Amino acid sequence: MTVKTKFSLKGASRDSYLQLVAAFPLASIKFDEQLREAQQVMDRLLAQGELDHGAETYLDALSDLVATYEDEHYPIAPASDAEMLRHLMEAKGVTQAQLSRDTAIPKSTISEILAGKKPFSRQLIRKLASYFNVDASVLAANF
């Protein structure tokens, strides 16, 4: 049965895509050895710099297969509120005192969050998301 689709590759893009598929077929990754091989293929492609449309399409599909395997076999727990706040502060280069001044969040509250003694509240999430210019869902992962 043939299925018609609007997705197509033509010319050199099609050729590069098919060469990559022939060298390392796009199939579900079942074992860590296949994962390592897929990562090596991805690394080689990324090292090439600019890729044609066929190679980009292949890399995108292979990345999805790798992500699916890693999500199932090597899940990463969400960062704690303390870890998230510490990261955002370091990335922006602010101290607890400056964060407190800029957001009107009491220093004691910031200290309790960083010590893991207090979780984010909805109000804190809104203030911090605005201050750090991130989506509130980034901070609400543990909410």
Domains of the chain listed by start with CATH number: 11-73 (no CATH), 81-139 (1.10.260.40)
CA distance 86 to 28: 37
Please give the pLDDT value at position 76: 87
Over residues 33-85, the pLDDT tens digits come to 999 999 999 999 999 989 999 999 999 999 999 999 999 999 988 889 999 99
The per-residue pLDDT for 120 is 94
pLDDT band at 12 (very low <50, low <70, confident <90, very high): confident
For residue 115, pLDDT over 70 is answered with: yes
79 contact partners, CB below 8 Å, separation of at least 6? 87, 141
Q: How far apart are alpha carbons 108 and 100 in whole angstroms?
A: 9
